[in-house]
């Protein structure tokens, strides 16, 4: 069923009796060509592009919980392509381009809003670094705008540029960046994949792999054994746990990251703003809540909740840059499990086991990557060759010393 304005009017006039479930509820078949483990944004996007771009027909997505229950529905919804390094920038710019046409492509309102992102600058050295980043972005075909203090004051009059704890000396803006309603991305991809025949199976946890002579033949699940020609892991924060079942020790640690939402306010923030002298980023949802976050909790964890010292740290960041928010009340907060790689960049690659593939290491930047990750992982699965935009996202970069260390902090996953 196609969604459209006319359909909404027709349903409104006929008692809303014609709407169908967005995707089918199916029991797993005994065998598939492709089994994708993980019904998050990346797993569902992979299934969709496998079917759409490569005509694959016999695909299942196995999700241990419910679609949208993982990080895809827990993040702070920011999309951007403001990366510095060659291994990253073309990939994230491809992703941003896919976001720009995604709602038409999926026929789904994901509330994509290119309201812009501004990274604030608080020192001359930071301005130099952001100038370099902006130039790298432009060289890769992305948009970047080094804003002066005056331009920032005009667009964001509530920011105290010269008399704050950390005076603002400019900022790097990407006006095509913005926000997307996160769970709608999962639902939109699920619906579109289902319409191309993909089986989306919820409450189906993969508990092991069947391997013979170095080849993966299928997966053990709580709903029985499922055979597959190709098996693709796409479980984000659970990557280390899942891949340990084939004795793979990944260059990934799992850490908790928290997100926060305030009570609803009238529109005050026109875009996404990131603080440059601490770790704090904020946008305003269409319902009016301020959506914000900061650093990881700083210890390994599989718990989807965080601790109070980080709440305090994030709120201190908020107060340093937006003292006007001092009396705003916090409404909700939660945590997600981040698959933090050693250099802060992801992995989309084959594994040492034939027919078993891996996608992970997205750290806390994987939401914006969802379309390109699905696009490139589908390419790898269908052709057995890395996609041009993801060719640096290989396991062997750690062995060969070709880390994609965007932050320049070394192999320190909790700092990326
Ligand atoms: C608080 C927070 C804020 C963030 N903010 C941003 C942001 O602003 N911008 C940005 O770009 N990124 C952000 N991220 C990161 C982003 O959300 C993730 O990198 C991305 O969502 C990970 O990919 P995914 O959507 O496929 O993961 P998930 O949605 O976590 O999908 C993985 C799925 O695998 C399932 N699974 C796990 N094990 C199994 C198993 N054994 N069998 C079957 N299924 C299994 C899980 O249940 C889960 O649904 C943030 C993350 C968090 C937690």
Interval 329-349: pLDDT, tens: 999 999 999 999 999 999 999
215-221 mean pLDDT: 98
pLDDT at 281: 97
pLDDT in tens, 272-281: 999 999 999 9
Give the mutation target among 115, 367, 370 for probing the ligand 1 site: most ligand atoms within 8 A of CB.
367
- Whole-angstrom Cα distance, residue 17 to residue 95? 37
In this structure, which residue's CA is closest to atom 31 in ligand 1?
40
DSSP β-bridge partners for residue 209: 219
| Mean pLDDT, all residues of the chain | 96
Give the mutation target among 68, 71, 274 for probing the ligand 1 site: most ligand atoms within 8 A of CB.
71
In this structure, which residue's CA is closest to atom 32 in ligand 1?
235
Structure tokens at 111: 């509330």
- Whole-angstrom Cα distance, residue 213 to residue 215? 6
pLDDT at 203: 98
> For residue 211, how many other CB atoms are within 10 A of its CB?
17
Give the ranges where 14-62 is alpha helix by DSSP (H): 41-54
> For residue 228, how many other CB atoms are within 10 A of its CB?
25
Phi, psi of 288, rounded to the nearest 5 degrees: 110, -15
Structure tokens at 123: 């020192």
| Cα 248 to middle of ligand 1, angstroms | 20
Relative orientation angle of helices 182-195 and 41-54, to the nearest 10 degrees: 30
79-84 mean pLDDT: 98
DSSP β-bridge partners for residue 118: 173, 273
Q: What is the largest CA-CA distance in the chain?
A: 67
| Cα 100 to middle of ligand 1, angstroms | 21
DSSP β-bridge partners for residue 31: 227
- Whole-angstrom Cα distance, residue 285 to residue 267? 9
Share of the chain above pLDDT 70, in %: 100
CB proximity list for 192: less than 8 A, separation 6 or greater = 48, 52, 105, 106, 107, 108
386-393 mean pLDDT: 98
pLDDT at 163: 86
94-98 mean pLDDT: 98
| Cα 42 to middle of ligand 1, angstroms | 8
Give residue 105's pLDDT band: very low, low, confident or very high (50, 70, 90): very high
In this structure, which residue's CA is closest to atom 35 in ligand 1?
38
pLDDT at 108: 98
For 99-159, give the DSSP string: HHHHHHHHT-----B---EEEEE-SHHHHHHHHHHHHHHHHTT---EEE-HHHHHHH-TTS
252-264/224-233 β-pairing: unpaired
Share of the chain above pLDDT 90, in %: 96
Q: Are 342 and 413 in contact (CB under 8 A)?
A: yes
Please give the radius of gyration of the chain, using alpha carbons only, rounded to the nearest integer: 21
pTM above 0.85, yes or no: yes
Structure tokens at 60: 């299942």
Question: Is residue 353 scored above 90 in pLDDT?
Answer: yes
Give the mutation target among 356, 366, 371, 393 for probing the ligand 1 site: most ligand atoms within 8 A of CB.
366
| Cα 92 to middle of ligand 1, angstroms | 17
Q: Are 282 and 319 in contact (CB under 8 A)?
A: no
Phi, psi of 251, rounded to the nearest 5 degrees: -80, 55
DSSP class of residue 166? S
Within 6 A (CB) of ligand 1 lie 37-43, 62-65, 69-72, 74-78, 205-206, 234-238, 242, 257-259, 293, 336, 338, 362, 364-368
| Cα 216 to middle of ligand 1, angstroms | 25
In this structure, which residue's CA is closest to atom 49 in ligand 1?
70
Element (H, E) at 93: helix 89-106
Give the mutation target among 43, 83, 236 for probing the ligand 1 site: most ligand atoms within 8 A of CB.
236
pLDDT in tens, 108-140: 999 999 999 999 999 999 999 999 999 999 999
Q: Across 252-327, where does the E strand assignment appear?
A: 252-264, 272-275, 280-284, 289-300
- Whole-angstrom Cα distance, residue 26 to residue 116? 40
How much of the chain is helix, strand and coil, in % rounded to 5?
35, 25, 40
| Cα 292 to middle of ligand 1, angstroms | 17
Structure tokens at 35: 């089994």
| Cα 339 to middle of ligand 1, angstroms | 8
CB proximity list for 8: less than 8 A, separation 6 or greater = none
Q: Are 29 and 224 in contact (CB under 8 A)?
A: no
| Cα 236 to middle of ligand 1, angstroms | 5
In this structure, which residue's CA is closest to atom 4 in ligand 1?
75
Which atom, in ligand 1's list, is nearest to the CA of 65?
A: 47
- Whole-angstrom Cα distance, residue 40 to residue 236? 8
Which atom, in ligand 1's list, is nearest to the CA of 62?
A: 43
pLDDT in tens, 145-184: 999 999 999 999 999 998 888 999 999 999 999 999 999 9
pLDDT in tens, 227-264: 999 999 999 999 999 999 999 999 999 999 999 999 99
């Amino acid at each position: 069923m196609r969604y459209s304005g006319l359909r909404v009017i027709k349903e409104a006039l006929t008692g809303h009796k014609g709407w169908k479930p967005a995707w089918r509820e199916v029991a797993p078949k005994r065998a598939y060509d492709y089994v994708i483990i993980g019904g998050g944004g990346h797993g569902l996007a992979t299934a969709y592009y496998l079917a759409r771009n490569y005509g694959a027909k016999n695909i299942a997505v196995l999700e241990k919980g419910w679609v949208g229950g993982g990080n895809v529905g827990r993040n702070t919804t920011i999309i951007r392509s403001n990366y510095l390094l060659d291994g990253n920038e073309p990939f994230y710019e491809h992703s941003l381009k896919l976001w720009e046409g995604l709602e038409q492509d999926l026929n789904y309102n994901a509330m994509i809003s290119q309201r812009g992102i501004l990274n604030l600058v608080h020192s001359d050295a930071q301005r130099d670094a952001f100038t370099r980043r902006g130039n790298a972005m432009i060289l890769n075909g992305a948009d970047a705008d080094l804003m002066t203090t005056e331009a920032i004051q005009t667009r964001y009059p509530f920011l105290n540029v010269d008399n704050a704890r950390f005076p603002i000396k400019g900022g790097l803006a990407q006006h095509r960046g913005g926000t997307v309603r996160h769970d709608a991305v999962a639902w939109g991809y699920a619906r579109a994949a289902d319409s191309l025949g993909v089986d989306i199976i919820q409450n189906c946890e993969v508990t092991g792999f069947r391997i013979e002579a170095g080849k993966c033949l299928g997966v053990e699940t709580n709903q029985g054994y499922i055979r597959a020609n190709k098996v693709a892991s796409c479980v984000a924060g659970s990557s280390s746990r899942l891949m340990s079942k084939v004795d793979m020790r990944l260059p990934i640690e799992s850490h908790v990251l928290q997100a926060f939402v305030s009570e609803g306010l009238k529109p005050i923030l026109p875009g996404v703003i990131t603080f440059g002298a601490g770790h704090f980023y904020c946008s305003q949802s269409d319902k009016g809540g301020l959506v914000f976050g900061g650093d990881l909790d700083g210890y390994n964890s599989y718990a989807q909740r965080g601790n109070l010292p980080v709440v305090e740290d994030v709120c201190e960041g908020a107060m340093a840059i937006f003292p006007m928010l001092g009396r705003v009340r916090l409404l909700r907060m939660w945590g997600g499990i981040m698959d933090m790689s050693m250099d802060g960049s992801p992995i989309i690659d084959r594994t040492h086991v034939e027919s078993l593939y891996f996608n992970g290491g997205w750290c806390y930047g994987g939401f914006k990557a969802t379309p390109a990750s699905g696009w490139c992982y589908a390419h790898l699965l269908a052709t057995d060759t890395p996609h041009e935009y993801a060719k640096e996202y290989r396991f062997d970069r750690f062995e060969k010393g070709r880390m994609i260390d965007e932050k320049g902090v070394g192999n320190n996953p909790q700092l990326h």
